[in-house]
Amino acid sequence: MVMTITGENKDQIEFSYPYRMLISGSSGSGKTFFAEKILSRPDLFEKRIEKIIYFYPSFLDKRPVKWDTSLDIPISYRRGLPKKEDIIDLKSHTTLVIDDNYDKAINCSFIDHFFRVMSRKKVINVILITQNNFMAGRYGRNIRNSCNFTVLMRNSVDERINRRVANQMGLLKAFKTASEMTKHETYPYIFIDQTPLGYKSDCRLFVDIFSSVQKVICNNGEVQRIIRDDKFQKYFAITERGRKFEATRIGVYEPRSGGERPRFKSLSYQYFLLADLKPCNSKTKNELLKN
């Protein structure tokens, strides 16, 4: 029996850069931990960051994180919100993290301008952390609309908030699938790509971006996986048809002289978006999906 899988070619897996990211969720949902984890994985984005500045509330006597001991990127800590003088001389590829200052940020005209204009032009990233996306503030909507990535952590106080965010983005069906998939996880997250690159695909809501095989959910609620071609070609011969492909399970090889296995022609894409792994036997599936 011939084992065949169909899927979609994906020409880029790295997320767009610079990024303006909003992370939200109830207290203790893992927001700050997620921010640290994404900063530890610069390979997920098109370019790499070179410096981090972490802003925390002025009322705290001590900084709430010790990222200088866990991250390999130079980091400094400051109280309050970024000011114009903090930003104007910053070098490109710096990332600002604004933690627990959302109420002040959405009422600050400079932060609004930074999100709308300066981040992109100066190539400076920003991560804004909050418990409530829809907290009232003069510039709240501007700032939310200027974000190109949204991360939804569990909101155990008001589950309607995350649902409302997904619904506004036209991702309600994908959100429902994601919520069901992750309901037994301790610190689940939903990572939404709002960039033009993300909108090129019907699949932009992720429930796993850190594994070597990412999990993404399409607008219609279908779960797909992104697998590198070098791993995939170990088991399948691939025929491309535009952005679609068909992969046939490779049988037992008759080695060439010298013991080399047959080579395939170079492919147009480095990653494959797979909707269905049911044709794979358990051994092949486990090998494809392992980190």
Helix (H), strand (E) counts: the chain: 11, 14
How do residues 53-108 score in pLDDT, each as one tens digit? 999 999 999 999 999 999 999 999 999 999 998 888 899 999 999 999 999 999 99
Whether residue 224 contacts residue 179, with contact meaning beta carbons closer than 8 Å, is answered with no
CA distances (Å), 144 to each of 15, 96, 179, 209, in order? 18, 16, 22, 22
Could you list the beta-strand ranges (E) of 3-155: 4-10, 20-24, 51-56, 75-79, 94-99, 125-130, 149-153
Average pLDDT, the chain: 85
The whole model's pTM is what?
A: 0.84
Whether residue 13 contacts residue 271, with contact meaning beta carbons closer than 8 Å, is answered with yes
The reported pLDDT for the residue numbered 82 is 94
Q: Where in the chain is the domain with CATH 3.40.50?
A: 20-223
How do residues 141-189 score in pLDDT, each as one tens digit? 999 999 999 999 999 888 899 999 999 999 999 999 999 999 999 999 9
DSSP annotation string for 142-209? HHHHH-SEEEEE--SS-THHHHHHHHHTT-HHHHHHHHHHHTT-SS-EEEEE-SHHHHTSSEEEEEES
How do residues 251-276 score in pLDDT, each as one tens digit? 544 444 444 444 433 333 344 555 44
CATH architecture for the domain at 20-223: 3-Layer(aba) Sandwich (3.40)
d(CA 204, CA 199): 7
